Amino acid sequence: MGTQARQGTSLVMRAISLFAARFLLIYGLLSLPWPGLIPTYTDLYCESVRGIARGLGLRGRVVINPDAEIGGFYDSKLGVRIDGTRTWGLAAHSSRYPNFSATSFLAGLLLAIPLRFPRRLIALALGMLLVHVYLGIRIASMLLLLAQVTPFPSLGWTEPQRLILSAVIEIPWPLVIVGLWAITIWRPFARGLLERVEAESGAFPYGELIPAGGHGRGKRVSCPSDSARSN
């Protein structure tokens, strides 16, 4: 069993290494077009932000002004001003982080998984839906926070609401993306990995895994013993 355990561990480590290499390659390739996509993506992103503002019922102005002097990951300033007020809510902003990068990050994680094409396509579609829901919630939280407008008018603007909106914005986006990836793909990936380890390491010397389309996926059937074969 010690040899089998080492073989199983080696297979798991090899699978993780291959997954990491594929992810880095795919994520890098998906990130390469960003410089050429900046004008088009920025315009689409600005319209999306204004659409979310209208959906929230914010009556006022929402502007995103490029500002190369901010530094760091930020490349612009997001401003919100509600009608009837003179005060602008301003925040350093970036259309790439986490928006474009989060989408590419999750796509890289999903495409790096060794799954059959139909299942991978379904996982990619579900992942893209989830990541855009997350980004929409994050943008909505930022707009409400800058405008100091509550999504629950009957409650008024309160400190707990401000803290909740701030938490949605401040949580590291890679953690959220990994969580979405786990929700989307972890179960079939883990099951496939365990089946492969069991099959290749000989963990069940008197059994075999019935392939897909058989009596059941991953079901183990007993083989006849040596004494039965001799008879």
pLDDT digits (tens, 9 = 90+) for 81-94: 777 677 777 777 78
Q: What mean pLDDT comes out for the span 190-196?
A: 54
Give the pLDDT of residue 8: 58
Residues 139-175 pLDDT 10s: 988 888 888 766 555 556 677 878 888 888 889 999 9
* Average pLDDT over all residues of the chain: 75
The pLDDT value given to residue 73: 64
Confidence of residue 207 (pLDDT cuts 50, 70, 90): very low
Q: How confident is the model at residue 67, as a pLDDT? A: 65
Q: At what angle do helices 173-201 and 101-111 cross, to 10 degrees?
A: 10
**Do residues 43 and 64 touch, judged by C-beta distance below 8 A?**
no
Q: Whole-model pTM above 0.75? A: no
Q: What is the pLDDT of residues 120-144, one digit of tens each?
A: 888 899 899 999 999 999 998 888 8
Report how far residue 147's alpha carbon sits from residue 175's, in angstroms, rounded to the nearest whole number: 27
User: Closest Cα partner for 13 from 201, 163, 217?
Assistant: 201
What pLDDT was estimated at residue 134?
94
Q: Quick one: pLDDT band at residue 49, thresholds 50, 70, 90?
A: confident
Longest Cα–Cα distance in the chain: 94
Checking if the pLDDT of 208 tops 50, the result is no
Would you call 205 exposed, middle or buried from its count of C-beta atoms within 10 A (0-12, 13-18, 19+)? Answer: exposed
Please state, in angstroms and as integers, the Cα–Cα distance from residue 125 to each residue in 34, 79, 105, following that order.
Answer: 21, 32, 14
Q: What are phi and psi of 207, to 5 degrees?
A: -150, 165
Work out the pLDDT band at 5, boundaries 50, 70, 90. low
